């Protein structure tokens, strides 16, 4: 007897995975091709296995498919090489070395993700979300970014099926960060309640003796500040032995302060601010034209920057200017100083 309609339908669907789009195909020497039976439900499929034929320049290994097309090894190697070169051009020539964690980092921050949840029924009964206790979920982190990412994930899930369904359908999600970069997320729904998630930062001190497993960014161990030292210059009294002390004026310290009480993690930022602050103190111009004065001030800053560059990349700005006002002479020195950073550094 001849082939039935079912046999013809099956044969017409058997072919190269490349022609049939490779639907359901695996990445070995054979592909699992699915055909639909005419006499069954339109959603029931029967797997048929066929051998895959390769071109001469291909090997029966892993092959990437895109939009039903087959990419052979030669094409894959070409695109992979081009992509590698593109990444190399866009990346820094020297990779940034990971900073070694030392015993000084025994003092560090840990980040915990906490949440609290109230159902619609509890809200109807008068329960307030602020009355509920925060509950830690998951493990603690030493990486702030990973903790924030987990908090964002927790704000979109719930063990309550009704609440989870409402979250999927779409609720009102508000995310914000505090001054330390810690996430606070509030996800409220109209018919299923409310979820609140936050990241809590805790300080782990030296007393615990726990060496951290820090895989995130660390604040630099060296910080910089800009200082201003002001000295008043006065003439020596008449009874002072000029031969012993010479003509040097008497110097009285008026102030030695940190400018704006700011600390910088980068020397370049500290130098830039110090130069701008020094120009404010030292700049004088005989011109009354505002444009001309602005030009002269910019030229002064540029000259100071060039002089600093000659000192090398580790050069720290330090300049002094003598100022006379109302018959009083003062000597103002602006300088950049560096010092060690103490405390937890995993704040990035």
3-state secondary structure of 42: coil
Residue 121: pLDDT band with limits 50, 70, 90: confident
Q: Which one, of 323, 251, 318, lies nearest residue 281 by Cα? A: 323
Integer Cα distance of 204 and 142 in angstroms? 10
Mean pLDDT of 171-177: 90
Q: How high is the pLDDT of residue 251? A: 87
Mean pLDDT of 19-32: 38
Residue 196: pLDDT band with limits 50, 70, 90: very high
3-state secondary structure of 248: coil
Q: Is the pLDDT of residue 274 over 90?
A: yes
Q: Which one, of 315, 317, 314, lies nearest residue 333 by Cα? A: 317
- Encoded tokens for 166: 């409402």
3-state secondary structure of 313: coil
Q: Go through the chain and tell me how many residues it has.
A: 348
Range in 38-47, 181-190, 243-252 the model is least confident about: 38-47
Tens-place pLDDT, residues 12-22: 444 444 334 43
Integer Cα distance of 273 and 294 in angstroms? 18
Q: How many CB atoms lie within 10 A of CB 66?
A: 8
Most confident range (mean pLDDT) of 46-50, 121-125, 158-162, 279-283 is: 279-283
């Amino acid at each position: 007897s001849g082939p039935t309609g079912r046999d013809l339908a099956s044969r017409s669907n058997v072919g190269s995975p490349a022609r049939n789009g490779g639907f359901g195909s695996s990445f070995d020497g054979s592909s699992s091709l699915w055909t639909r039976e005419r006499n069954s439900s339109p959603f029931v499929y029967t797997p048929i296995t066929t051998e895959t034929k390769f071109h001469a320049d291909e090997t029966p290994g892993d092959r990437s498919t895109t939009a039903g097309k087959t990419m052979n090894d030669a094409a894959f190697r070409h695109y992979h090489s081009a992509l590698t070169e593109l990444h190399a051009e866009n990346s820094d020539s020297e990779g940034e070395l990971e900073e070694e964690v030392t015993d000084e980092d025994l003092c560090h921050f840990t980040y915990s993700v906490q949440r609290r949840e109230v159902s619609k029924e509890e809200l109807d009964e008068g329960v307030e979300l602020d009355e509920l206790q925060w509950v830690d979920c998951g493990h603690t982190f030493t990486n702030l970014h990973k903790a924030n990412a987990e908090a964002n994930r927790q704000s979109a899930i719930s063990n309550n099926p009704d609440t989870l369904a409402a979250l999927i359908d779409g609720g009102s999600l508000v995310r914000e960060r505090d001054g330390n970069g810690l996430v606070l997320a509030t996800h409220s729904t109209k018919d299923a309640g409310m979820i609140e998630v936050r990241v809590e930062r805790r300080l782990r001190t030296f007393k615990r003796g726990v060496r951290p497993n820090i895989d995130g960014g660390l604040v630099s161990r060296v910080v910089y500040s800009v200082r201003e030292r002001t000295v008043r210059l006065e003439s020596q009294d008449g009874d002072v032995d000029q031969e012993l002390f010479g003509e040097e004026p008497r110097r009285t310290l008026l102030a030695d302060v940190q400018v704006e009480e700011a600390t910088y993690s980068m020397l370049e930022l500290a130098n830039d601010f110090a130069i701008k602050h020094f120009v404010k103190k030292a700049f004088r111009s005989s011109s009354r034209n505002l444009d001309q004065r602005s030009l002269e001030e910019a030229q002064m800053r540029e000259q100071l920057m060039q002089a600093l560059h000659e000192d090398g990349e580790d050069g720290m700005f330090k300049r002094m200017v003598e100022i006379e006002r109302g018959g009083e002479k003062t000597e103002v020195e602006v300088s950049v100083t560096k010092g060690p950073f103490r405390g937890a550094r995993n704040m990035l």
